[in-house]
Amino acid sequence: MRRKRVIAGISLSVIAMLIFVVLTGRGAQGPFGSSESNPIAKMDEVQKLQETQKVLRSIHDLYDERVVFITTEQIVKIPNNPFGDDFFGPFFGPPSSGDKSGQQRTQKRKGLGSGFIISEDGYICTNYHVVAGAEKVFVKIKGKDYQADVIGSDDRTDLALIKLKTSDKFKPVFLGNSDDVNVGDWAIAIGNPFGLSNTFTVGFISATGRKDSEMLGGVQAMLQTDAPINPGNSGGPLINIKGEVVGVNSQIISQSGGNVGIGFAIPINAAKSILEQLKVYKKIKRGFFGIQPVPLTEEYATERGLKNNEGAIVGQVVNDSPAEKAGLKVGDIILKIDNRKILNAPDLVEVAGNTPVGKTVKILVWRDKGELTLFLTAKERP
């Protein structure tokens, strides 16, 4: 009997060892999943995609301390019910704590949004509508809370500049060139949609120079993207595949209030000029050329010897204006200002408004079926 028990014990040990060998031989799959090697994982295309995946992960890590969570507080006045709070009590419940004298009462309203650090000493770019009317602004960076002052804001471009109340040093973002952005480029949005901090979404640039939506107001050409942007993303960065900020996320078009793949960002090149002015002047001093532009039609462009209708006609030159002093004449066609092409009349208005006061720009003009270069120094818009 004793011998049989020993043999049985040995047999069980051998069986257990065999089971262990079989299971471990199947790798990390355990008892489930295929024991065959995955053919997809070995494909060259997958290896290339994995390199892109590494880049995206690196961008996420790079911006971990550069994108901020903004919350605001605003005290609003609400008029009391002139009939007294208990007038509607039988219908809507017990009376509130407000007085019955007809005077206004106050209520604390909170808002949230995103932003990104643009200097080591704590200047942050965000949207005007994120901080508009705010009496207190709070900023969270990597779980640490700060208070901030609104240095300046501009409702026309929906941009604002705030400054952290601290002597700490911070990591600023890397600014790119939004003029180089093209449809089909990678687009990465980082922000705090619905208060979910540091949300990272990826898509593509859907359109550039977008002005043809009534929602956009036609003031600033926008970058359109399908990278998911939702309420709370406002003020956060739109980033290219090189890890550079090319836009400031600002708006969405949606019937539900959530993302449907149509979001808009303010080009960073336009934002730079605005932010610099807000830092110096606390407001915007818009450039003034003294030109009344007229749309350039295809027929008129052909008549003047141009290959296409990209440009803007000088329809009027204001007396004693920078345009008059530069030598511009009615009928001139403006093709380019500095290194930027002028595609149409609204483009010219935008460039003029974004030109810093006192800056001299080089204007490429088409006159008498030939190119002419003129120099214009912008004044402040009256």
User: How many other C-beta atoms are found inside a 10 Å radius of the C-beta of residue 269?
Assistant: 18
* Active site (annotated) includes residue 64: no
With beta carbons less than 8 A apart as the criterion, state whether 118 and 124 touch: yes
Helix (H, G, I), strand (E, B) or coil at 242: coil
CATH superfamily of 287-380: PDZ domain (2.30.42.10)
Which residue in 114, 129, 178, 206 is the catalytic one? Answer: 129
Q: Which two tokens stand for residue 215?
A: 């929602």
Q: pLDDT per residue over 2-43, tens digit each? A: 444 444 444 555 455 544 444 444 445 567 888 788 888 888
Task: Report CA 243 to chain centroid distance, whole Å.
Answer: 14
> Is 178-281 a domain of CATH 2.40.10.10?
yes
* Active site (annotated) includes residue 58: no
Q: Which two tokens stand for residue 375?
A: 């120099």
Q: pLDDT per residue over 296-308, tens digit each? A: 999 999 999 999 9
CB-neighbour burial class of residue 40 (10 A; exposed 0-12, middle 13-18, buried 19+): exposed
More reliable by pLDDT, 156 or 107? 156
Q: What is the pLDDT of residue 215?
A: 54
* Active site (annotated) includes residue 158: yes
Mean pLDDT over each residue of the chain, to the nearest integer: 86
Q: Domain boundaries in the chain?
A: 178-281, 287-380
Q: What is the pLDDT of residue 305?
A: 93
Mean pLDDT of 53-80: 91
Q: What is the pLDDT of residue 308?
A: 94
| Packed helices 345-354 and 268-281: angle between N→C axes, nearest 10 degrees | 30
Q: What is the pLDDT of residue 84?
A: 53
Using alpha carbons, select from 155, 136, 156, 154 the residue that is nearest to residue 146. Answer: 136
With beta carbons less than 8 A apart as the criterion, state whether 326 and 374 touch: yes
Which residue in 158, 226, 332, 347 is the catalytic one? Answer: 158
Q: Is 311 left (phi over 0), alpha (psi -120 to 50) or beta?
A: left
Q: What is the pLDDT of residue 283?
A: 85
Task: Please state which of the ranges 60-74, 78-92, 317-331, 342-356 shows the lowest mean pLDDT.
Answer: 78-92
Q: Which two tokens stand for residue 206?
A: 């859907």
With beta carbons less than 8 A apart as the criterion, state whether 225 and 262 touch: no
Mark out the alpha helices in the chain (DSSP H runs).
Answer: 2-25, 44-62, 89-92, 128-131, 268-281, 298-303, 322-326, 345-354
Torsion of the alpha carbons at 76, 81, 82 and 86, rounded to the nearest 10: -140
Q: What is the pLDDT of residue 87?
A: 47
Helix (H), strand (E) at residue 333: strand 333-337
Which residue in 178, 234, 250, 273 is the catalytic one? Answer: 234
Using alpha carbons, select from 138, 160, 158 the residue that is nearest to residue 150. Answer: 160
